[in-house]
A and B are shown apart, each in its own frame.
Chain A
């Protein structure tokens, strides 16, 4: 096969569902070969729809997308040969073993017969399932299923990997193991990774660049450091000793910056030129009774808040409540 750069180029991509919302609303993305691109957004933002379009499972309504140099509409089979995909729901057959899955996937992907067994063994070891490979998937934990799903995506040694919320529902240990494997794939094999997530930490730790999507639109894009630098100023978070002093402390802190909408504590984004020491001195001088005072560097959640007016957590909750309300009607 002709050697192609394993990047992704998306221009003006739109995907509209019949009688439904515009799930993806004109996004432009460029992912460089060998880059890990984090696609961050709450539930229902359009992340999975974008992945479905880029992996040829859904045709776009408008716009163009090239994956590995191939057009996703006109050259679907060539795109599929280049990519490995782990979709949001790890669709596995509970009656097959991990090894059965790998053998099936390898055959369907055209891996040479003499390589299939070796490949399956290597991948089972790589994802830490060598002891569970001959067990039926019905007995696997959520983390084991995710790891098998990743192994299946890698069976034909793809140059581009799409991971749709790969760590949702995983315990911290499994999550870290998966992050390490994804980082290794990029580092040692030059694989390009398009990763969707609703976890800020995941995007922060893993991604070279992050795109933030909300209601189908790309609202921000850059390296995590660049995005945080756009916000610039840190925030100060205080926890009152007595809950009834909350409003009083909020008014006091408002002297140092604009108030942030938080539920756990009282917080302000500091004005330019102010630091924690300024607040500590003022707290001391005014006898304000607080149990904890913390200075937080800007996070990707702050970026999301600045771009959309909502926290990522809040947006996710809204997205979860909205369909439930619609169902209730």
Chain B
């Protein structure tokens, strides 16, 4: 029996569940855009700094929602999976012919679909606000692809946390920790313009900086191979490590002979 229909069924469930929870759909769309709007209004003066890469802070900040939205969906996907562990739904799945990998791939496929929907929304907001994409239509396509890779990686991270902790509350408690990574990145200032030394070091060591910079490069620079390679590289490393950890945790959680 092929496992792909199983992957499709699990992905469909993941999407349907999220779509039926407005509290899971609306915040990842609205909050990142709201934060971007506030920052763009308050920090426009930053563009006057010598060496600032653009004269539109909105164009500079548009990269952030892509990563912040993915963080939101990570939490939601993780919480949903943790709830399956708590309620015993995972036992129901374990009693079927479902293969372990099909559950993980299905779950992550659902997260990726939702990640792409979010990315399309942020793109639409950016274009409607007058942001030009320096990399053109091909860059927009690459941006959507990159958004799906980020969703996959963060989704795997959420799945690992869910399977390891087995509690929705614990996943929610991790949310601020992940958010710290966003705020100590280059989200509001280019790394070379950060004046505080420890902050600049932290932002340089923080992989989230490179994810934001990859998106940002497509929007305001055009095609920057180094930024894209670093962004994709860190995202893939996070994804591969998270998928490996999630697979191992799933085998432990879905105990069956």
Contact = CB atoms under 8 A, between A and B. Distances in A.
Interface of A: 55-59, 72-74, 76-77, 79-81, 83, 85, 87, 89, 91-93, 95-96, 100, 103-105, 107-110, 113, 136, 152
Given A58-B255, A96-B17, A108-B6, A77 B91 contact: no
Contact of A91 (B1, B6, B10, B88): B88
A96 B92 contact: no
A271 B5 CA distance: 66
Interface stretch (B93-101, B128-136, B178-186): B93-101
10 smallest beta-carbon distances between A and B, as pairs: A91-B88, A76-B257, A108-B96, A107-B9, A91-B89, A110-B1, A56-B257, A95-B20, A108-B98, A95-B17
A83 B95 CA distance: 9
Contacts of B10: 104
A57 B6 contact: no
Contacts of A152: 92
B147 to A, nearest CB: 25
A57 B16 contact: no
A104 B107 CA distance: 13
B22 to A, nearest CB: 12
A109 B256 contact: no
Interface in B176-217: none
B97 A96 contact: no
Nearest to A152: B92
B257 A72 contact: yes
A104 B13 contact: yes
Contact of A57 (B13, B17, B97, B256): B256
Contacts of B89: 91-93
Contact of A85 (B1, B16, B95, B97): B95
A102 to B, nearest CB: 11
Contacts of A85: 95
8 contacts: A57-B91, A79-B257, A81-B97, A91-B89, A103-B9, A105-B92, A107-B9, A108-B96
Interface of B: 1, 5-6, 8-10, 12-13, 16-17, 20-21, 84, 87-89, 91-98, 255-257
B96 A80 contact: yes
A104 B87 contact: no
Given A103-B9, A104-B13, A110-B1, A57 B94 contact: yes
B11 to A, nearest CB: 11
Contacts of B88: 87, 89, 91
A77 B97 contact: yes
B95 A57 contact: yes
Contacts of B97: 77, 80-81, 108-110
B136 to A, nearest CB: 40
B13 A96 contact: yes
Contacts of A56: 95, 256-257
A150 to B, nearest CB: 13
Contacts of A77: 97
A118 B68 CA distance: 43
Contacts of B95: 55-57, 80, 83, 85
